[in-house]
Amino acid sequence: MPASSSSNHGPHTFSEILSQPDIWRACFRRLNENSAIEEMRGKTAARKSWLFTGCGTSYYLAEAAAACWTLLTGQKARAVPSSEILLFPQLEHLSDPGLQAVVISRSGTTSEAIRAAEILGKKYKTSTLGITCSPQSELATTCQMTIAIPDADEKSMVMTRSFSSMLLTILLLAAETAGNKDIPVVLEGVAGGLASRIGTWNGKIEEFVAERSFEDYIYLAQGPFFPIAREGALKVTEMSHSYAQAYHTLEFRHGPKSIVAPQNCIAFLLSESGMTAESEVLVEMKQLGGTIIAICNRASETVRKASDLVLELESSSPEIGLLAPFVVPTQLLGYHTGLKKGFNPDEPKNLTRVVILD
């Protein structure tokens, strides 16, 4: 991997983004060696509906996990920010029999996540599963069960490989629950596909950022890709102190498109299921004068002509395997934008690695 000219700033964040294919493989190996997925499948086999929760990046991870869970298992699954379990538990049907709660936290110490796990387990007698990069954390001692993937932890404040690796871990558990034996092989292939493209993607994004300056960043996606769009918006905000927002792609027509202009970057995370409808929005926004990034598996000629930057994975994976690699370009966009604006992505402005409440 050629060291980018930017790798001497924010070194942790940059290397952690680029390490994702290898870290995914390391996590797969460790989970396979300790049979963590098979064991967890056995412990949760009786659960009939799933509630995923976390904060910040881990909340968007929870949203993506809930979508993947339903797609793979057919079971009901939903995601809420941990704060909602603290403040509005009556909205979340926490007494549902057969409910399995999954509390996601890289650090395992975020106060809202810990308190949510305590409320779920003690007050609502719900089964709690912790997903974390910190095996010795308070989350691990608070939840009844835990899957830890320490290989994916970061030195950087910003969550990048921890997000994608914990998502892939939950995908493996969903596949095991569904009796789907193909997904583990698919995800190994996705890691290989990303490894062969991540250097090219990094160069294209670095050049794209160097040639332009934006006032606002819009991320558009549908279905299980929408939480990835939300995470992408958070990355560019955290790493470059930029305004950013995410919408469902077709929702963007219903008012928000009024902000389309050359100085606003619009990143489309294109699904395969909704490609035709989503591509029509992309073409319309180009016609309105927007600057367009297309993140997709394979770009049609229409998408290629209407986009200012096209990033293709060209994978044979089913659509659900594309979520984790699709977050990588959004991480690189945030990183290079942060460098260009003079920030250090390893230590974002105003932020701390963990939010601990009194």
Candidates 20, 105, 177, 202: give the one binding ligand F1P (CB under 6 A).
105
Cα–Cα separations (whole angstroms), residue 224 to 105, 239, 313: 20, 24, 17
Question: Which range in 48-56, 252-260, 273-281, 290-298 contacts ligand F1P by CB under 6 A?
Answer: 48-56
Element (H, E) at 194: helix 183-211
> Does residue 107 interact with ligand F1P by CB under 6 A?
yes
Instruction: Give just the sign of the alpha carbon dihedral 108, 109, 110, 113.
Output: positive
When binding is defined by CB under 6 A, the residue of 27, 120, 159, 266 that contacts ligand F1P is: 159
Closest CB to ligand F1P among residues 233, 292: 233
Phi, psi angles (nearest 5°) of residue 141: -85, -20
CA 65 distance to own-chain centroid: 9
By CB under 6 A, residue 165 contacts ligand F1P: no
CA-nearest of 184, 183, 229 to 71 is 183
Q: Which stretch binds ligand F1P (CB under 6 A): 39-47, 56-64, 247-255, 327-335?
A: 56-64
Considering beta carbons, is residue 108 or 184 the nearer one to ligand F1P? 108
One of 62, 113, 233, 266 touching ligand F1P (CB under 6 A): 113
Nearer Cβ to ligand F1P (105/279): 105
Buried/exposed code over 313-327 (b: 16+ C-beta within 10 A; e: otherwise): bebebebbbbbbbbb
Please check whether residue 98 is in contact with residue 76, taking contact to mean a CB–CB distance below 8 angstroms.
Answer: no
Min separation Cβ 162 and ligand F1P, Å? 7
Total interface residues for ligand F1P by CB under 6 A: 16
Instruction: Summarize as ranges the residues that interact with ligand F1P (CB under 6 A).
Output: 54-58, 105-107, 110, 113, 157, 159, 351, 353-355
